[in-house]
């Protein structure tokens, strides 16, 4: 499976963000990838989540998701991206990751479970946490792909639930807030979730200055298969899915787990 990560520098101009995603999706298709993955808040981003995110929110049949669906159809590729979805509350929206298959069909929508109410940030003031905390997956190229978002990486049970649901590849679209030690934490958490569960983990983050960039693809034994620097970038990596079987044969953690 060949995948492409689009490390964006998204801003509050949704049309410009979609145009940049279009460029990356075209490049991904030209490179032979079957999957293009974009960060959390790919369609609308600022340095802090505020009420403008709620104003930018749309239902999953709105203009943004329709544009992503058309992109997927045009390039015959699966597109995964972070959007802002309207919720049942007027003051808060959902932070949602959508997956559109090459026909443009919405095959998965994951609402962020754990909101970033840390280090002086209060995401939950304007974003509603997912009411359903069950694993969200979709099929791709004969395997199962799971979704989580950013801060969810700090909660090992999210990735574990995806692995238990059959995921061999876990995508982690993120906008990892900069700060002392944050780059090391990002690296460790992505690689740990891969190693914990014997899965590939692809973490694609927003670029500097809003985020740290440094998108990473980690293999099922925790090794780094590809990475980006802090600036806007595109990364294409081949995932050899037999490595999942090999890792789980060496370390049959799911069978040995007692707690």
Please identify every residue annotated as catalytic: 40, 112, 150
Count other C-beta atoms under 10 Å from residue 11's C-beta.
Answer: 15
Reduced to 3 states (helix: H, G, I; strand: E, B; else coil), residue 28 is helix
Instruction: Give CA torsion, residues 36, 240, 194, 192, to 10 deg.
Output: -110
Enumerate residues 6+ apart whose C-beta is below 8 A from 143: 1, 168, 169, 241
Enumerate residues 6+ apart whose C-beta is below 8 A from 4: 24, 27, 28, 31, 33, 35, 36, 37, 234, 235, 236, 237
In degrees, rounded to 5, the angle at the alpha carbon of residue 170 between the alpha carbons of residues 70 and 144 is: 75
């Amino acid at each position: 499976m060949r995948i492409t990560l689009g490390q964006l520098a998204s801003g509050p101009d949704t049309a410009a963000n979609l145009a940049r995603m279009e460029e990356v999706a075209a490049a991904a298709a030209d490179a032979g990838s079957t999957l293009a993955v974009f960060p959390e808040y790919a369609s609308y981003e600022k340095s802090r989540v505020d009420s403008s995110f709620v104003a930018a929110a749309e239902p999953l049949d709105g203009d943004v998701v329709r544009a992503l669906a058309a992109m997927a159809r045009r390039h015959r590729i699966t597109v995964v991206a972070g959007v802002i979805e309207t919720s049942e509350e007027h003051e808060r929206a959902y932070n949602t990751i959508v997956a559109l298959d090459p026909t443009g069909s919405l095959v998965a929508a994951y609402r962020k479970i754990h909101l970033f109410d840390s280090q002086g940030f209060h995401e939950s003031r304007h974003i509603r946490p997912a009411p359903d905390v069950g694993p969200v997956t979709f099929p791709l190229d004969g395997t199962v792909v799971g979704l989580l978002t950013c801060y969810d990486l700090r909660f090992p049970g999210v990735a574990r639930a995806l692995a238990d649901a059959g995921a061999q590849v876990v995508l982690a679209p993120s906008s990892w807030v900069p700060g002392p030690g944050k780059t090391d934490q990002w690296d460790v958490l992505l690689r740990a979730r891969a190693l914990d569960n014997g899965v590939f983990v692809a973490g694609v983050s927003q670029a500097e200055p809003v985020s740290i960039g440094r998108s990473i693809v980690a293999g099922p034994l925790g090794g780094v298969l590809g990475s980006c620097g802090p600036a806007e970038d595109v990364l294409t990596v081949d995932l050899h899915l037999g490595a999942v079987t090999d890792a789980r044969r060496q370390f049959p953690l799911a069978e040995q787990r007692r707690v």
